[in-house]
Amino acid sequence: MQIGVITTYDYVDDSIEQMARELARELVAKNCIVITGGNGGLMRVLAEEISRLNGICVGILSSELEELGYDHPFRHQYNTVEVRTGMSYAARSSIVVRSSDAIILMAGGAGTLTELAMAYNMAIPVVVLEGTGMLASRLKDMFPDGYLDHRKIVRLSYAKTPREAVEIAYVKALERLNRSR
């Protein structure tokens, strides 16, 4: 099972970092392969915890990231696998999304919003981890019925804890995979 985590590369409170670490532990416990954009911030926190637990984290790197050294705050050595796309941030986002059976969204900014729209258009289920701030805290107000538009392709799900987010994402991913067989 490949679960994407779309999130921010910005610095966040320690409490949000702790949620990311808990999310990583829950994903590893379910034997999920985690797909991220490979950046710093919460993507680094997730990858570091997944690495510590001997899980698998795949970072889909943009061309901008590929050129940075591991000493840069946006680059890190914790991804199990780095896919060097040679693509811009926005272009590589399509690979992050398409490679995911379901997605968990925490915090996030404009890039996360782009990935959310891509997931919606590809009918990939998204679980929003509430209480993580930024974009994640605004989505219920922005899309009160859970759909991004009138087509009602796939409804957003919401979770209050990392464990709940993983449980929902796992079930949604299984349902999606079973429909495609």
CATH of the domain at 169: 3.40.50.450
| pLDDT score of 179 | 85
Q: Which residue type sits at 106? A: M
DSSP helix/strand/coil, 94: helix
Position 47 in a domain: yes
DSSP state of 135: G
Q: Decide if 112 is inside a domain.
A: yes
Measured between alpha carbons, how far is 107 from 27 in angstroms, rounded to an integer? 18
Q: Using CA of residue 118, residue 139, residue 148, residue 20, what is the dihedral sign?
A: positive
For the chain, the domain total comes to: 1
Q: Is residue 171 part of a domain?
A: yes
User: What is the percent of the chain where pLDDT is above 70?
Assistant: 99
Domain that holds residue 22: 2-175
Structure confidence at residue 11 (pLDDT)? 87
* CA geometry: angle 118, 124, 126, nearest 5 deg: 90
pLDDT digits 0-9 by tens, 2-17: 999 999 998 899 999 9
Residues pairing with 159 in the sheet: 129
pTM for this prediction: 0.96
